[in-house]
Structure 1
Amino acid sequence: MTAQAAAPGITGGNSTPHFDLVAAAERISQPDGASIYSWGYGCHTAPAGFSPAAIQSSPATAGVALAVNVSCPTMQIPGPTLIVHQGDTVTVTLTNNLPAAAGNTSILFPGFQVTTSGGTPGLLTQEAPNGGSVTYTFMATNAGTHSYYSGTQGDLQVEMGLYGAIIVLPTTVPAGCRAIGATLPDGQVDFRNAAAAYNHGATCYDREYLFQFSEIDPAIHQQAEQQAGMACTQATGCMDILTELYHPAYFMINGRSMPDDMDPNYAMQYPHQPYNGNPHMHPGELVLLRIIGTGRWQHPFHEHGNHVRILARDGNLILSQTASADPMKTLAGPLLFTTTTTPGETMDGIFYWTGRGLNWDVYGHAATGPGSVYNLDPSDPKYAAYNGKPVVCIPDANGYYTADPMAPNYYEWCADHNKALESHPFGTVASGGPVTLPDANIFTNGAWYGGSPYLGPDATIRAVGATGSTPPSGTIANPPTSEAGFAFMWHSHNEREITTNNIFPGGMMMMMLVDPQSFVINEAN
């Protein structure tokens, strides 16, 4: 499975960034084939740049664009992610290109002190009249993840798609955090927007993902489309749309439903839904989850594989009242089994997976024979030097193998090294483990099943049955000969929300792929 850019967005320049946005109408697609009339924010003029920088170029490619079709259309759902730095004076100009019947529109920036110029007075803020514009200015005082959305007829305009995210990056690199660079310690490309989520040493991270949760009631969108052509000069618009009773049928992450959210960012088949939900990681990496609830409903989102340590809500770090010299002890956010997204609220949290506690060697190593030496793709120059060499696991002070960041088993839990899982393995992986596994085709036909309980193509190939690991469907999203990651389903715990118009699977669902260290996670495609 191809990995994708983690938290892509647009930048507006240095210290005084300016974003020239427009509100417009277009259509978005759903996996059941529906084309839904919607409204959204987009770029009125080209942005100053895109972030993270690695999606545009890297030293390894001599400035050649890495990401495909990186763009900011004139309408997208969610709106463009605005990426700024703490302390920046941010200016956002909004032009109203919605149908005249929609009336005025606007943007609210919760958590910031906003001044306005132009436009006309509205109930909550200055508004842009049809064909006109308004400018908002604020200082990005708090780092972290923030939301923005329409402050005009919110029951209609937010439902129609007028919402987006702001990522405020901290101004410093806290002690213990790695500065942004061309590569991570393992030599793979650094796709972070910043070294840490906040100016705090316990908020360092290795990868980041932004997830915005929303829903669509198609009846509301159909009414808006039917009335969009009405002649109207009223600031409040001329539409008469019933927004109650509310019966959403589509449930989205970053404007897409499963499986569309697993396709690349900026995929040409979703011209107005550029962002995906396709997280990947290596064992031991700290993954920053930026979570925003939009729409009307709470969405209880469950991340399989581990709990999420909440760092902050609405850009405010959750700290203990008792100071400590150890920054990890000053964090007081909860460990959440399910991150429930409340409309308008944002959360920042850390997800972490290492394999510790599973009680078997996740790489399928063996003391002798196959698995006792590295056996990797000889055409891969990055790891070719390891081929044929003995696999070692020398624990650090915390019990992990971290002596060699380039090693294919980097961050292995050494207490389980060489420990068998299978009592009667198909290959020669084990040496008397506790269980006998069924044939892979009997065990599962899921597209994300790598073919065995072991991590990585080498271990997987040595552990599959005679019939192989290809699912009966023929669809392989996690190839057993190249990626072979562990797939953890991340999904809404409201069962209806993992459907697309009542068809399962769909909706608010994705897969977190924990990939072997030897698999290059390219988040630019």
Structure 2
Amino acid sequence: MGHITHRAWTATLAHLRQLARIGVATLAALLSLHAQAAAPGITGKVFNLNAEEARITQPDGSSVYSWGYGCAATNATPLVFSPSTIVGATCPTMQIPGPTLIVRQGDIITVTLTNNLPAAAGNTSILFPGFTVCNGTLSTDGKTCTASASNGVPGLLVQEAPHGGTVTYTFVASTPGTHTYYSGTQGDLQIEMGLYGAIIVLPNTSVNTAGCMALPDSGRPFGQHDFRNAPAAFDNSAACYDREYLFQFSEMDPRIHQQAEQQVGANTSCTKPNGCMTVETEPYHPAYFMVNGRSMPDDMDPNYAPQYPHQPYNGNPHMHPGELVLLRIIGTGRWQHPFHEHGNHVRVLARDGNLLLSPVDPANPAKPQLPAGPLLFTTTTTPGLTMDGIFYWTGRGLNWDVYAHYPGDGSVCVPDANGYYTTASNPPAPRNAPNYYEWCQDHGKALEKAPFGKVASGGPVTLPDSHVLTNGSWYGGSPYLGPDATTRATSPTGTSPPTSTNLNPAATEAGFAFMWHSHNEREITTNNIFPGGMMMMMLVDPPVFPIDESN
């Protein structure tokens, strides 16, 4: 997997220093936002969607006329949201990106699209790359398609829904993993306007992933809950994960949207299948760069936040040390998006739902094939590409004890075969050990050269006075993740924070913040203003902090 290096750590601190240049007040505001996220969506086999117009917002205060998919108000059955406990879940009749459809491998999926776009837009449609779509009736075994002449109208790539009409697509969710869907009609305009979304296909078997099954909530340490959609991304022992996040990257040229809005108003009686608009989609100059339909810092607000009625999904990952985090990544639009996850490389499991497997061993053909995807410094997505990968952070390689143990405190770290303190250690680590998954080689190593706290033994770094440095309300004022991390980070003039009160005890939230962002510097701006765009903060939280992804 690789591990965090001093260079990566230094780079992260450099980014935070860069943020500091925008002003202490602004930085504190950014780092005090909510940061709870999951991979939310709607589940089932039958989905009734709209294509509709609305406006979305950007952090610079602009309101951008857009088109998007959403849930039809006439759904025959109540919508089922995942995670089931998520608060405030809603599926409006238009959202960007479109609803994330969470389905099961092997199921027959039916999507009926109603074209509620303005008449001037003409027809619209949906493509489902990677799936064989039936524009009619699909047999119960998924093998025979009976075409229907009344199902929409023929288009260049797929059957389309005329203005005010419908079209139905049926397919077998044959391949697990992360997939995308988007308009197959006038793609240069309709995808730009916002007609795209994601599909998550969960594996239908667990023959090879029995070890991925989670403890019931009653048996999970520190009050943790299981918010995953499934125990594994694929039926492969290397595809287990503890936490999952979906990142759909897109960009937006407001000039195109302004032209579309003007021409929609001027062509209200259009009856042409290809619409009555002549929008110049070149030259292309995007000013907004979005993760799940939002730009930073909006992407750090909760899912389904009421201030974004047509942008329900956020993009803000949390994790505990040692957790395997599944990243579901989709490139949308026209540009490549080189997204960099600070703290570790990402091990790619699959592209476009296809597992990247090791070759079959001729001498042992029964030997399981394991994912053999690359370790990526940046998960670069081209338009339409999807990617599944595993990320984790353990503190390995820091060369100091991230859990704040010190000689003589009686703490234990027994390495397993890989050097970590886990249930595979002898004796095994309790699942609720505050330093579960600690890299034992660094156990008891000091950070401080001129110590403020109890970890004094001549380490290489002098901590700054907490009166001088603050990193916002996510940070406990401590470089440690132990359960009493904040009280162990004291300054010559008092505890951290300097009010002599423990504002961020580790059990409430006092982790490390790593910046995750596009490596195309223009894409971390909003209308040329930094910070913005494709940027977020990934938080490594102390194990004792229960990450609540229900809001």
Q: Which moved more, 1:425-434 or 1:121-130?
A: 425-434
**Is the 1:86–1:170 contact (alpha carbons within 8 Å) kept by the matching residues of 2?**
yes
- Give me the whole-angstrom Cα distance separating, in 2, the residues matched to 1:225 and 1:441: 52
- 2:406 — aligned with what? 366
Change (3 A) 1:128 1:340: same
Match status 1:148 vs 2:174 = no
Aligned-pair distance for 1:141? Answer: 0.6
> Which of 326, 343, 353 in structure 2 is aligned with 1:315?
353
> Which of 462, 470, 491 in structure 1 is aligned with 2:488?
462
**Is the 1:457–1:482 contact (alpha carbons within 8 Å) kept by the matching residues of 2?**
no
- 2:319 — aligned with what? 281
Match status 1:163 vs 2:196 = yes
- 1:31 — aligned with what? 59
- Give me the whole-angstrom Cα distance separating, in 2, the residues matched to 1:89 and 1:216: 34
**Aligned letter for 1:426?**
F
- Give me the whole-angstrom Cα distance separating, in 1, the residues matched to 2:105 and 2:313: 24
SS at match of 1:31: coil
Change (3 A) 1:478 1:84: farther
- Give me the whole-angstrom Cα distance separating, in 2, the residues matched to 1:189 and 1:459: 23
- 1:249 — aligned with what? 287
**Is the 2:485–2:506 contact (alpha carbons within 8 Å) kept by the matching residues of 1?**
no
**Aligned letter for 1:23?**
A
- 1:519 — aligned with what? 545
> Which of 209, 213, 217 in structure 2 is aligned with 1:175?
209
- 1:293 — aligned with what? 331
**Aligned letter for 1:74?**
T
Aligned-pair distance for 1:449? Answer: 4.2
Summarize deviations over 1:243-270 as a string: whole Å, max 9, x none: 0010000000000000100000000111
Aligned-pair distance for 1:48? Answer: 4.6
Aligned-pair distance for 1:462? Answer: 1.5
**Is the 2:484–2:505 contact (alpha carbons within 8 Å) kept by the matching residues of 1?**
no
Aligned-pair distance for 1:444? Answer: 5.7
**Is the 1:40–1:75 contact (alpha carbons within 8 Å) kept by the matching residues of 2?**
yes
**Is the 1:116–1:135 contact (alpha carbons within 8 Å) kept by the matching residues of 2?**
yes
**Is the 1:359–1:419 contact (alpha carbons within 8 Å) kept by the matching residues of 2?**
yes
Aligned-pair distance for 1:181? Answer: 5.8
- 2:514 — aligned with what? 488
Summarize deviations over 1:148-179 as a string: whole Å, max 9, x none: 00000000000000000000000112335333
Number of aligned residue pairs: give it.
486
Summarize deviations over 1:324-379 as a string: whole Å, max 9, x none: 7664x6321000000001100000000011111111110111224xxx3xxxxxxx
**Aligned letter for 2:155?**
G
Match status 1:347 vs 2:393 = no
- Give me the whole-angstrom Cα distance separating, in 1, the residues matched to 2:80 and 2:37: 11
Gaps of at least 5 residues in structure 1 are 58-66, 373-389
- Give me the whole-angstrom Cα distance separating, in 2, the residues matched to 1:479 and 1:29: 35
- 1:193 — aligned with what? 229
- 2:465 — aligned with what? 439
SS at match of 1:87: coil
- 2:117 — aligned with what? 98
SS at match of 1:110: coil
- Give me the whole-angstrom Cα distance separating, in 2, the residues matched to 1:348 and 1:420: 37
**Is the 1:301–1:493 contact (alpha carbons within 8 Å) kept by the matching residues of 2?**
yes
**Is the 1:447–1:471 contact (alpha carbons within 8 Å) kept by the matching residues of 2?**
no
Summarize deviations over 1:112-162 as a string: whole Å, max 9, x none: 000114111000000000000000000011000000000000000000000
Note the 1:299-448 alignment, pairs <5 A.
Answer: 299-323=337-361, 327=368, 330-368=370-408, 372=409, 390-402=410-422, 403-440=429-466, 442-443=468-469, 445=471, 448=474
Change (3 A) 1:236 1:73: same
**Identical counterparts, % of pairs:** 73
SS at match of 1:221: helix
Match status 1:84 vs 2:103 = yes
Q: TM-score by structure 2 length? A: 0.84
- 1:133 — aligned with what? 166
Match status 1:18 vs 2:18 = no
SS at match of 1:42: strand
- Give me the whole-angstrom Cα distance separating, in 2, the residues matched to 1:159 and 1:454: 44
**Is the 2:236–2:370 contact (alpha carbons within 8 Å) kept by the matching residues of 1?**
no
Change (3 A) 1:272 1:478: farther
Match status 1:4 vs 2:42 = no
**Is the 1:2–1:522 contact (alpha carbons within 8 Å) kept by the matching residues of 2?**
no
**Is the 1:484–1:516 contact (alpha carbons within 8 Å) kept by the matching residues of 2?**
yes
- The CA RMSD over aligned residues, in Å, is 2.2
